[in-house]
Each structure stands twice: as C-alpha cells, then as structure tokens.
Amino acid sequence: MEKERTSIEALIRRLRLHQAPPSPYSGDPSTAATPAAANLFQPRRAAVLVCLFHDAAGELRVLLTKRASSLSTHSGEVALPGGKAEEGDADDAATALREAKEEIGLDPTLVTVVSSLEHFLSKLSWKVA
C-alpha cells in the first residue's frame, strides 16, 4: 500500500505543476485568433471531473459513467462525470464537483482538486474544462 500511496503522491505533484494555457474560447481578445473574433463565438461552459483512485487491489483507476440510453445527447456513451455550468458555480472545479455529486453521489469533500487541464471544444460546441 505504501508504494501505491507514493505513486499517487508523485502524480499529484506532477499535476500540480501543470499550468493550463488561457482558453481560446474565453472571449478574451488576447487569446482569440483576432481581437474581433473574441465576441463572435461564445460557447456554453461545462466541466468534467477526472477522478483517480486506488481500487481494493491498489490499482490506479479512473471513474467513468455510462450515460442513460434515454438521453437526447450522448445517450449510452461512457463519460467522465460532469456537465454544464450553472450561474452559482464559482469556477470549473465547482461545476465538475457539483455535477459529480448530482450524477454519481460523489461527496465533494472527499475530492482534492489538484489541477485544471486545457479547455476543449466539444462536438456540440461546449467549452469543456
């Protein structure tokens, strides 16, 4: 168990060093392709949680969900827990934690957010963090 603990601690240290670049989808003229393009496209915000944990055998795992087949988008797909941002969400981490609690009952107090990754644009034009 000591080996697993040190390996996850090493991973956490590496992730904490990661600095995500500014999002090209932020509406900030300094990160847009051209200053005029900054306000042309404002994608909706969403966030996901990449939840890593050790299973009973000490193996590092990532938590995935399977979306219900009755949903209108991404039905039946395997996904990371997460979803669209709401007005009260302080930031992307808050969105991801709130959605993980709603979707799978994950207690946010049990989660240590160690890093944020680059935003990407989903095929449905969501800016996902």
Is the model more confident about 29 or about 122? 122
Helix (H) and strand (E) counts for the chain?
2, 8
C-alpha 45/C-alpha 91 separation (Å) is 10
> Concatenated DSSP letters for 68-93?
-TT-SSSTT-EE-SEEE--TT--SHH
Closest CA to 124 of 88, 87, 91, 77: 77
pLDDT tier for residue 115 given thresholds of 50, 70 and 90? confident
Closest CA to 61 of 14, 8, 13, 112: 8
Across 106-110, 111-115, 122-126, least confident range:
122-126
Residue with tokens 């709401």: 86
pLDDT tier for residue 106 given thresholds of 50, 70 and 90? very high
Q: What is the pTM of this model?
A: 0.71
Q: Are 104 and 82 in contact (CB under 8 A)?
A: no
CA angle 115, 116, 118 (to 5 degrees): 140
61-77 confidence digits (pLDDT tens): 999 999 888 988 778 88
Query: Which CA distances in Å does 15 have to 9, 32, 77, 112, 117?
Result: 10, 26, 27, 12, 9
